[in-house]
Structure 1
Amino acid sequence: MDGPTSRPARQIIETPTIGDQFAILYPLSRNLDLRLAPFYDPGRARSERFFGLLYGETAGAVEQDLETVAAGPARFRVTRRHGVACQLAVAVADLDLSAAEIAPLFRDVGGSYNWRRIAGTDRLSAHSYGIAVDVNAAIGGYWRWSGATEGAVGTYENKVPWALVEAMERRGFIWGGKWHHFDGMHFEYRPELILYSRLMEGAGQ
């Protein structure tokens, strides 16, 4: 089944349909209150079939389309498929990389392409497809490092400037800081979710 399902959140995360990916609307505002709801994680449900078709089903298939995008001292390896590298480069160009609030984000970055499973799961990371980048982890933060319990993560003390978040969102990247299970260093190319949110906002949903 490719449509949305009504299964428990944990099951949807483990084995999402394509429709499940759109079940939680990604918020385009600066309000982080929505993420207080357990498992409010728009974008964490990823259909491997969907991503494999778009970006490659094996490491070898993904790697043949990788290119490097510079962001100050950082070097991000991402796929050129479907405009990912191009959109990341434009998002970076929109930023003042010398600004005091921006420059530290691109030092000691978490990384980009890495064909791997998400820790503690059998699911491929978004990094496996060359569509995700992690900025400075010390600034972004990650829910597992906080000692929080899954489904009851609580507040997130955001230190990532909105200038970065909004520059990335304009180019089709979602931000893990808006998830209940926050991953504040993490951005991934999900233009389908950004577009869907804009359409729903326009429709008054």
Structure 2
Amino acid sequence: MNSFIFKNRSNKQDKGKRSFAFYVLVILVSIYSLEAKDPPNQVSFIEGGIQKTFYRNSSLEAEYIDPIQLNSSQNKGLGNLKLKAGWNFRQTGKPILSKSSKSDIKAKVTEVYNTGVGAGPNIVLPGVILVTFKKDQNNGSLNKLAEKYKVVFLQQLSPRIASFQTEPGFISVEIANEILNESFVLEAYPETAVEKVLK
């Protein structure tokens, strides 16, 4: 009888340890998934019924220059570098604006992609998603969609097309693909800015 009680307690302790180990593993996986992911080497999405694939240019980054930063007395020499307000390309890890700048504006930096492996114009995904719907939408339904996917509703371009703001970069592709799962969505893809527009 005593050996049965001991075995029963031992089994309960083993199950408790396994359950505890499982919950710790789930928590660790959750924390790991919340950490920033490395940008993928390529991104694909469907725009206008055509699948488009872009390849990461690991030697370049895009940095967003705010008009206020460009016009500040500390950064007057930036005009000589042919920089302008908006997205500008830079070498990976080399900031355009000096770190000594006392600006309160945090620099936005994101990855750069090419239309072909090491070829074609460079593009940046500025974090705007364009969504085409199967039926006309109103502000209420667009705000609900924005709230569900934690994006900001920007503009209704037509009764069936709207734009949403997310974080710049490949994250916008991931969110666009999530929104595409909605039954009333026809297309969802990130807006792209190309090199000739940025310079």
User: If the TM-score is normalised by the length of the shorter chain, which range does it land in?
Assistant: under 0.3
Q: TM-score, normalised by structure 2?
A: 0.27
TM-score after normalising by structure 1: 0.26
Larger gyration radius, structure 1 or structure 2? 2
Higher strand share: 2
